[in-house]
Amino acid sequence: MALKIKEIESMGSKELKTKLEELKKELIKHNAQIATGTNPKSPGQVRVIKKTVARILTVLKIKGGEKKQ
């Protein structure tokens, strides 16, 4: 599920927002599994999802700033 920065930058803002929502839902699902005490299928996936969300938010902020200038 890890997206490279080049892939993220090439996406449009609508695509990025939908991908962001998907990732947040997946992160909620993983966090719920951890909270209930069950072992997630891949424990490292939570870190990867968080990093991808941060990358998407950064690119969205940069793209938003370009339009204002």
Q: pLDDT tens digits, residue range 1-12?
A: 578 888 998 999
pTM for this structure? 0.83
Please report, rounded to a whole number, the percentage of residues in the chain having pLDDT higher than 90: 59
Beta carbons within 10 angstroms of residue 50's beta carbon: 13
**pLDDT at residue 69, as a whole number:** 47
State pLDDT tens for residues 25-57: 999 999 999 899 888 778 899 999 999 999 999
> Could you tell me the CA-to-CA distances from 68 to 13, 21, 58, 63 in Å, in that order?
15, 24, 16, 9
Q: Locate tokens 């870190």: which residue? A: 47
DSSP H helices in 1-69: 5-10, 13-36, 45-68
State pLDDT tens for residues 21-31: 999 999 999 99
CATH architecture of structural domain 5-68: Orthogonal Bundle (1.10)
Average pLDDT of the chain, as a whole number: 88
- 53: helix, strand or coil: helix
